[in-house]
Structure 1
Amino acid sequence: MTTPDTERRRFTRISFDATTELSRGSKTWEVTLVDISFNGILVRSEHPLPLSDGDEVEAAIHLLGDDVVIRTPATLTHQRENDYGFLIENLDLDSLTLLRRLVELNLGDETLLERELDNLFDDS
């Protein structure tokens, strides 16, 4: 079983500022992206979100307006005050490619990127 500390060691969290929306059913909330990794996202909301651990949402992370968007199902794994941590799984190929490029640009080290990709696909 992995713990949040183990996950942080396996997947580097990238601080990134992007317009981010969470949707569930007919509800949509605009939130602030705190960080992102191959394994999950951490967002902050100005207002409490009506979500509980285990709830699933659709996350849309706008990298370049509406032209470049990472879309992924996400499951709430923890919350503390106005911070919400989500596990991301089942990224489509386009979103995975965008996330890979984002991580690659921020890590600046091909070896670290390959290690993270190995960890990502070892869990699949």
Structure 2
Amino acid sequence: MTERRHYTRIIFANDAVLSNGHYNWTVKLIDLSLNGALISHPDQVLPSQLNHQDSFNLTFTLPQSDNVSVQMSVKIVHVEPEVLGLRCEKMDIDSATHLRRIVELNMASEDLLMRELEHLIEQKI
């Protein structure tokens, strides 16, 4: 079965922190979308610490900003040897605004951005 993506992925190489309330792992952010992120597999993590049922927090600071950060609650949707795919479960309004702006600045079409935002809203309701 082929998965059909509804969200444009933006290459966004940046440091980030993945945490589960007990552990914090430094990871590399590889790409972003309005619905999640792709990150490097955390170093020195035990497989039992990455339970797909658990919620994690992903936090990263925007480059060239005065410590503006994006924080989102995420779940792991796929694991590969080098990367983890994360789905955003929720985020605060400031983080959502910053994420929207990042995606907007990297998309070729404002119409496509609006369609993705509408799809995201429909999916979350």
* TM class by smaller structure: 0.7 to 0.9
- The separation in 2 between residues aligned to 1:87 and 1:57, in whole angstroms, is 10
1:85 match: 85
1:54 match: 53
1:36 match: 32
1:25 match: 21
2:116 match: 116
- The separation in 1 between residues aligned to 2:81 and 2:91, in whole angstroms, is 27
- The separation in 1 between residues aligned to 2:2 and 2:35, in whole angstroms, is 10
- The separation in 1 between residues aligned to 2:66 and 2:22, in whole angstroms, is 20
Structure 1 alignment gaps of length 5 or more: none
Across the two proteins, how many residue pairs are aligned to each other? Answer: 120
Aligned identity (percent) is 35
Structure 2 alignment gaps of length 5 or more: none
- SS of match in other structure, 1:103: helix
Q: Return the offset for 1:108.
A: 3.0
1:33-79 Cα distance to aligned partner (Å, 9 max, x none) = 11111111110136253313222111102113671111011111110
TM-score (norm 1): 0.87
State the one-letter code of the partner of 2:91.
Answer: L
State the one-letter code of the partner of 1:27.
Answer: Y
